[in-house]
Amino acid sequence: MKRIILLCLLLAGQVADAQKTQKPVLHGRHWMAITGKPLAATAGATIFQQGGNAVDAACAMMAATCTMWDVLSWGGEAQALIWNPKTKKVIAINALGVAPSGATAEFFKSKGYAYPPEYGPLAAVTPGTPGGLCHMLATYGTLSLKQVLKPAMDLAAGYPIDAETANNIERNKARLKQWPYSKSVMLPHAGQKRESPEAGELFVQQDLFNTLQKMIEAEEAALKNGKSRKEAIEAAYARFYRGDIAKEFVRGCQEQGGLITEKDLADWKVLEEEPLHTNYRGVDVYKLQAWTQGPMMLQGLNMLEPFDLKAMGYNSAQYIHTMCQVLNLCFADRDFYYGDPYFPPAEPVKGLLSKEYARERVRQMSLDVNDPKAGPGDPYPFQGGENPYRHLLKDWGTVSTEPVTPEYREQLFLGTTSVEAADKEGWVVSIVPSGGWIPACIAGRTGIGMSQRMQSFVLDPALNPYNVVAPGKRPRVTLTPGLAMKDGKPLIAFGVQGGDTQDQNLIQFLVNMIDFNMNVQEACEAANVNTNQLYLSLGGQDRKPKPGSILLQDATPPWVRKDLQRRGYRMTFEDRTSGPINAIYFDWKHGTMWGGSSQHGEDYGIGW
């Protein structure tokens, strides 16, 4: 009996050693599909099984997550990085909506706002997700829009809603009742104690189904008229932004007090851009331009490169302090210098991302205690220019000494989803779509929840002269897909949900893999530190930084806590220290793919 018990204990130890993460690593040879909901990952797998490439599958997953209200809907925005194996280039997709006609700082100030509102029709920029999906599919996919939208249409016709979404609707029902079309869709049991759907109940979105059907009808009509596959998808795009769908969207928006016009929709377009990148310890890391917060991750990597992070030890007090001081300085630069590059003034991106500027910022760091006054630097000399706003830097920003509340944490982590896909032909896609999350104001009989991204603008140029709201302008968003390359080949595709926490979690994810040799699932699950010393991009009218306030994993050892307290940090502790991170690692030694998906949330992956 003793031998049997000993053998069982030995086997249990072997299993424990073999499985060190809460979720297993995914392995695939032919393709990998990872996103925010199991049903949406299944949509991607279905497209792969029909012969689609990674772009087709990513578009299907994005459509499914929008339909499932996975912290976004069809009226939101889409940001993507695509590796094209044919051209050997990384492509950046900008499908972010713009502020509508009449959206000026003076307009919102006249209504008593310090920032544009969080919710409702006045929070809406023009929808970008439908256009972004159509553009990516038409240009880089292989299947028809009808094929790619079929899983989403099946969901719109009625799917068993998950508890997370159903309960989110119930929590927000008071606000949803303000908007008649949202109430009609979201609260099928109006007047009962529970007015939202129950978990497992079939959730039907007939208006959305009809909208998607109209797009497919436009595609099919164009094909019958001899148009090419790409032209047919563009016809669906045109019906959404310039046809009867646009008219109903605008009617429903304006009926409820929104500003979006038919011209706003007709004038909007998807943009392809050159991504930004830096090299960190031999790895080329790509991000979108400064209309996102993505460049701060690149700047942070530049600043971290001189430090021997591995010698400090994973999540030691010195490591956490170093990471926080780097992030605080990067956030200050983000909060002052980032905005829409298609509007003047031009953001000083070259200076911000120069290695010389990174060295200057490291010299400004406090190496022992937290610096509560960490503010924007001056990158202009590092690109041969003079800062037109130097006079604003001295007295920039104000801080808050208020404690971190649950509401603050919710705004800091306010979500989105991420979509990662790759195939054996070499296509790699990383998308972080968002906007139109619950509680969303649905625009008329389109079934489409409008974006709430207007709140990411500022009204006071002293806070950020690059991100002041104006008609036709894009707000600086938190959304930030990532792609890492090595030796000219994809290494890691990655993304995460979580508002302002996104790039601070992703920089640690990448450091975990590069500096601490974690595999992709370990890096997705690893405990992170989050700094609150930043201006919230989403939330109420008080978004001031909270100097020294950090979030740590609740298993942080007491000696680390004591050391950090000595350094001037105010700590809160939670089991969850990041939104769900999704990633694909490319194992070129074996010719396979490794998929990782955080244990937080309902994110899910399928590989083959």
Q: What is the pLDDT of residues 223-258, one digit of tens each?
A: 999 999 999 999 999 999 999 999 999 999 999 999
Q: pLDDT tens for residues 170-215? A: 999 999 999 999 999 999 999 999 999 999 999 999 999 999 999 9
Residue 265 three-state SS? helix
Mean pLDDT of 267-276: 98
How many other CB atoms are there within 10 angstroms of residue 573's CB atom?
Answer: 13
Q: What is the pLDDT of residues 96-131, one digit of tens each?
A: 999 999 999 999 999 999 999 999 999 999 999 999
**Which residue, chain included where needed, has tokens 């992709």?**
520
Distance CA 376, CA 395 (A): 11
Does the model's pTM come out above 0.85?
Answer: yes
| Alpha-carbon torsion angle 450, 65, 482, 117, nearest 10 | 20
| Beta partners for residue 486, in sequence order | 489
DSSP-derived secondary structure for 447-470: -PBBP-GGGGSBS-TTT-TTSB--
As a whole number, mean pLDDT of residues 260-272 equals 98
- Residue 348, pLDDT > 60, answer yes
Question: Alpha-carbon distance 563 to 480, whole Å?
Answer: 32
Percent above pLDDT 90 for the chain: 91
- Tell me the pLDDT band of 413, cut-offs 50, 70 and 90: low
pLDDT band at 553 (very low <50, low <70, confident <90, very high): very high
Looking at per-residue pLDDT, the higher value among 7 and 415 belongs to 415
Asked if pLDDT for residue 411 goes beyond 80, the answer is no
d(CA 159, CA 77): 23
Query: Which own/partner contact pairs does 241-249 have at CB distance under 8 Å and 24+ positions apart?
Result: 241/130, 241/131, 241/265, 241/266, 241/268, 242/266, 243/214, 243/218, 244/214, 245/211, 245/214, 245/215, 245/446, 248/443, 248/444, 248/445, 248/446, 249/127, 249/443, 249/444, 249/446, 249/448
Average pLDDT over residues 455-461: 97
pLDDT of residue 601: 83
- pLDDT tens across 134-164, in order? 999 999 999 999 999 999 999 999 999 999 9
Q: What is the pLDDT of residue 67?
A: 98
By three-state DSSP, how is residue 349 classified?
Answer: helix
Residue 414, pLDDT score:
65
Q: How would you write 13-24 as a 3-class SS string?
A: HHHHHHCCCCCC
pLDDT greater than 60 at residue 16:
no
**What pLDDT shows up at residue 18?**
42
Predicted confidence at residue 407, as pLDDT, reads 74
Burial profile 371-399: b = 16 or more Cβ within 10 angstroms, e = fewer: bbebbbbbbbbbeeeebebeebeeebbee
* Percent of all residues in the chain with a pLDDT value above 70, rounded to a whole number: 96
Mean pLDDT of 379-402: 92
* For residues 514-529, average pLDDT: 97
What does the domain layout of the chain look like in residue ranges? 22-158+204-293+402-608
Pick the CATH number of 22-158+204-293+402-608 from 3.60.20.40, 3.40.50.2300, 3.40.50.300, 3.20.20.70: 3.60.20.40
Query: How far is residue 439's CA from residue 452's CA, in Å, rounded to a whole number?
Result: 10
User: Between the CA of residue 379 and those of 275, 284, 389, what are the distances in Å?
Assistant: 19, 22, 11
Position 13 confidence tier, pLDDT thresholds 50, 70, 90: very low
Q: Cα dist. 539→167, 326, 443 in Å? A: 21, 24, 22
Q: Residue 508, Cβ neighbours under 10 Å: how many?
A: 27
Mean pLDDT within 292-303: 98
**Beta-strand runs (E) in 48-149:** 78-84, 89-95
Using 50, 70 and 90 to split pLDDT, how confident is the model at 412?
low
Provide the pLDDT confidence category of residue 445 given band limits of 50, 70 and 90. Answer: very high
Is the bond into 180 cis (omega within 30 degrees of 0)?
no
pLDDT greater at residue 552 or residue 406: 552
Read off the pLDDT of each residue in 266-289 and give the average, rounded to a whole number: 98
- Cβ pair 560, 527 in contact under 8 A: no
- pLDDT for 1 equals 40
The per-residue pLDDT for range 497-508, each reduced to its tens digit, is 989 999 999 999
Mean pLDDT of 540-556: 91
C-alpha 369/C-alpha 371 separation (Å) is: 6
Strand partners, 280: 283
Give whole-number Cα distances, 457 to 295, 336, 412, 436, 442, in Å: 18, 12, 16, 16, 22
User: Looking at 78-87, 233-242, 315-324, 398-407, which range is the least confident one?
Assistant: 398-407
Residue 11: is its pLDDT beyond 50?
A: no
How high is the mean pLDDT of the chain? 94
Q: How confident is the model at residue 408 (pLDDT cuts 50, 70, 90)?
A: confident
Per-residue HEC secondary structure of 99-114 comes to: CCCCCCHHHHHHCCCC
Distance between CA atoms of 369 and 322, rounded to whole angstroms?
10
